Structure 1
Amino acid sequence: MSGADYPEPAHVVLPEKPEGVEVVAKFFRALGDPARLRLLEFLLHGERTVGECVDHIGLSQGRVSSHLACLADCGYVRRRRDGRRIYYTVVDDRVVELVSTAQALAADNVAALAACVRVDGEDVRQ
């Protein structure tokens, strides 16, 4: 489709200021790692310990903790400490919609995404 095939947006989607757009881009970069996406999907089903997350995705405890910390710092998940254990859960139910929409769009564009070399190499010119 060409740009002319898309309807004009009814409202502004992105913030007007460049700093606001950068925050939205950072929001998406937080989801730019397959391990974080898998962890986020796992946490959609309820509160989980770090150990359960490690068992689920098969990475080291240190790497899983780092990914969970990223998701928590970016506001996707919340931590709860109970003694020596830390539990994680998704903060906002809209994350389900976000991940589902992203999966559907990716499935519809799988060939283009597979051929895209600019994102992985960050070869996007401004």
Structure 2
Amino acid sequence: MNKEGACLTGSTATNSSNLDAAVALFHSLSDPARLAIVGRLAEGEARVVDLTGKLGLAQSTVSAHVACLRDCGLVTGRPEGRQMFYSLTHPELLDVLASAETLLAATGTTVALCPNYGTRARTGATIDSKESLR
């Protein structure tokens, strides 16, 4: 439910826009690099150079992902001299991630085995009918 008490799965026009916003939120977090950036920023503010060192990604890649998160309203920048320090805009995002971790622990590997979005879908691997689904 959102803060107005409306369920995100409703079918009215208002709930449709809530659903669209939820889809955009989860899509913004669906990239491994963006999720890693959010995880690092959960520890405190950081510059792009700090993020590149931590994530092992090119500066341009990190900058593009930070811009995406900033455009989504999840990250904000604080200028200090010629540097920009980024931080999470809303601490509630940490609650969402904690809930996701709880859900992942409860479902085990089920999400990873999802044929559309799981690990195998990203790598193009197929499940052999004789393979165990541990």
TM range (shorter): 0.7 to 0.9
Matches within 5 A, 1:39-118: 39-118=37-116
Q: Which amino acid aligns with 1:20?
A: N
- The alignment status of 1:29 with 2:27, answered yes or no, reads yes
User: What is the deviation of 1:26?
Assistant: 0.6
Deviation at 1:49, TM superposition (A): 0.7
Q: Which runs of 5+ in 2 are unaligned?
A: 122-134
**Equivalent of 2:6 in 8, 12, 28:** 12
Aligned to 2:126: none
Superposed displacement of residue 84, structure 1 = 2.3
After TM superposition, the score normalised by the length of structure 2 is 0.75
Specify the SS of the correspondent of 1:92: coil
One-letter amino acid of the structure 2 residue matched with residue 110 of structure 1: G
Number of matched pairs: 112
Q: Structure 2: how far apart are the matches of 1:104 and 1:86?
A: 33
Amino acid at match of 2:20: E
Cα deviation, residue 13, structure 1: 1.8
Instruction: State percent identity of aligned pairs.
Output: 31
Q: Which runs of 4+ in 1 moved over 4 A?
A: none
Structure 1: state its 5+ residue gaps: 1-10, 122-126
Question: Aligned partners of 1:103, 1:56: CA distance in 2, in Å?
Answer: 22
Partner-residue secondary structure (3-state), 2:112: helix
Residue type of the partner of 2:23? A
